[in-house]
A and B are shown apart, each in its own frame.
Chain A
Amino acid sequence: MKKIALASLLAVGLTGCGGSEEPEVLNLYNWSEYMPQEVLDRFTEETGIQVVYTTYDSNEAMYARLKLLDDSAAYDLAVPSTYYVSKMRQEDLLMPIDRSKIEGFDNLDPELVNLDIDPDNQYSVPYLWGTTGLAVDTGDVEGDVTAWEDLWDERFEGQVMLTNDMREVFHVGLRVLGYSGNSTNPDEIEEAYEKLSELMPSVRTFNSDAPRMPYLEGETEVGMIWNGEAVMGRDALPTLEYVYPEEGIIAWLDSFVIPKNAKNPDAAHEFINFMLKPEIAALISEEIGYATPNLPARDLLPDEVADDRASYPTAEDMVNAEFQTDIGDEALQVYAKYWEMLKSGQ
């Protein structure tokens, strides 16, 4: 029944997929603003494979899309965050990566491979890692902002921006209360909701398309941001500062995975290979401000990038840092309920 329902839902969308002698194509599904165009152009130049680039702004959207288009093989490569790799692996949505076709896997930071989310990296190859922390426009904000808790300060009324990401926003609420950002305890989640609803009068907007924009547009002056966005935002707004909050940063690792029904897994492998080249990895990290797990690439980075604490945190910055984990479906429903309440509450 459900299969029929899905199939008929899809039937409308699947017209005109005739295969003929066209250039080889790789369908890449990636986060918005997460790969420089130059890198894609160089890949096409080197291999002759055209890249069809599609973007999403949340893991949830990516997951729903891949799951729905499971049979149609719309994408050859996707970039889920940390715990979505384990979720998708467990649900049998991924194709194992043929390590014999991959060169340069040894370039990767040993601390970022063979993690619990994917033992032995059978299904995923790390792309970039980053953090979600505090953004402060020091041009407008007087005094120090050092902790998530500071967002609740009265002086920021109507000035705060949060990412439009349920898990991240609740992570902040939970950490401020001293709980794990991966809590599955309904009481703790409710408490975090209560705490966050006190913050709501201060919240001006939620944004996960390009979280730097409300700061650049002058709409908000303090709040959450991804570190790469902070680095990119600094070009236009030099007073935008990235702060590691005392309660601990939210850390994530985004990895390449190949959907199980990918049409062109060979091209996907080739693309991963390309990404593992130190000079390419270095170029990406420099352009978009996130940290590369590629160790030889780090040596190629200009000093001002390699020493940039926003992109490459020190061990001290990472104290209390927490990676997001899969919280399971039951807890997800609890989060979803409070998220809806939070955003609709007046």
Chain B
Amino acid sequence: MRSALQQPFKTAVLVLVWGWLLFLVFTPNLLVVGASVMTRDPGSFIALPFSLDAYRQLLNPLYLEVFLHSLYMAAMTTLCCLLIGYPFAWALSKVPKQRQMLLIFLLIVPFWTNSLVRTYALKLILATNGLLNNALLGLGVIEEPVRLLYTEGAVIIGLVYLLLPFMILPLYSVFDDLREDYLRASHDLGAGRWPTFIHVIVPLTLPGVLAGIMLVLLPAMGLFFVPDILGGSRNLLVGNVIKNQFLDARNWPFGAAASILLTLAMAFLMFAHKLSKKRLGEDGV
């Protein structure tokens, strides 16, 4: 009786979830894979025959340079997020429970505003005659306005601002699980603050660090509107290359191949994350 009632509900949920994944995740990705192995066609964007030219083009030193620079900016972003996010998450886990919820809520509130709008707001702050420069001039800290907008620094600031919560949240969850017993045990066994940090805290929070890196590094390479708005359409990310290939150069197979490169990089990071978790699990036993 019970199962008969539950069965239709269960089936409906399964159909919904699988249908969603199939049509909105699997099929679009399959189309991207399909486009990447076809030939560029000026008239209809993609055409037969199948070819791996797009992937060969990825190995071209020109694009390699773009990817490396993009990776560099994404890595700087991740590093900044980590340097800010790690102590932030640690401090957050030390705050009384009730206030923690409020702080996390405040962390999430900016998501209620579209990120494009927030990036434009950042532009107003960083501009030569913007808020920051006017404030610094007014305080007498600087004599001449500092050029912040349309620089590599501005792109990294924008990316850090947009992605910081994605670093803090997984770190917070591992710090929240960090048991005081371990730290006390470490102290009792004679380890000072520094050895405790290196040998106990870092390994135990590593899964959070890796999850944070995963959530920041790859999205940082894709947020093409940040260089467009804050970088003066310079300091390109892989996301800009993909957008340019689809819209301006009309080389869909190449754009698709570049996008798949990002997906593969993500898969690699997830694999590393899984591996580290597994190792950590064995160490813990």
> Hey, what's the 0/1 contact readout for A8-25 against B, CB within 8 Å counting as 1?
110010000000000000
CA distance A265 to B127 in the complex (A): 45
B247 touches A60 (CB 8 A): yes
B69 touches A58 (CB 8 A): no
B232 touches A332 (CB 8 A): no
B233 touches A206 (CB 8 A): yes
Contacts between the two chains (Cβ within 8 Å), count: 89
Q: Is A337 an interface residue (CB 8 A)?
A: yes
Q: Is B111 an interface residue (CB 8 A)?
A: no
Q: Is A166 an interface residue (CB 8 A)?
A: yes
B234 touches A341 (CB 8 A): no
Q: Is B55 an interface residue (CB 8 A)?
A: no
B251 touches A336 (CB 8 A): yes
Interchain CB contact (< 8 A) of B129 among A6, A218, A341, A345:
A218
Closest CB-CB distance, A94 to chain B, in whole Å?
15
User: Which secondary structure characterizes the binding site on chain A?
Assistant: helix
Closest CB-CB distance, B11 to chain A, in whole Å?
25
Chain B interface, number of residues (Cβ within 8 angstroms): 39
Among B220-265, those with CB < 8 Å from A are 232-236, 240-241, 244, 246-251
Given known A337-B62, A344-B236, contact A2–B251 (CB-CB < 8 A): no
Given known A2-B45, A5-B34, A158-B147, contact A58–B127 (CB-CB < 8 A): no
Write out the residue numbers on chain B whose beta carbons fall within 8 Å of the beta carbon of A2. Answer: 38, 41, 44-48
Closest CB-CB distance, A89 to chain B, in whole Å?
14
CA distance A219 to B146 in the complex (A): 11
Write out the residue numbers on chain A whose beta carbons fall within 8 Å of the beta carbon of B46. Answer: 2, 5
> What are 7 A-B contacts defined by CB distance under 8 Å?
A5-B31, A5-B34, A205-B150, A218-B127, A336-B248, A344-B65, A344-B69
For the complex with contacts A60-B247, A166-B248, 19 further pairs of A-B residues with Cβ separation under 8 Å are: A1-B48, A6-B45, A12-B24, A64-B246, A64-B247, A91-B43, A164-B233, A206-B233, A217-B128, A217-B129, A219-B149, A332-B250, A336-B251, A339-B244, A340-B236, A344-B65, A344-B66, A344-B236, A345-B65
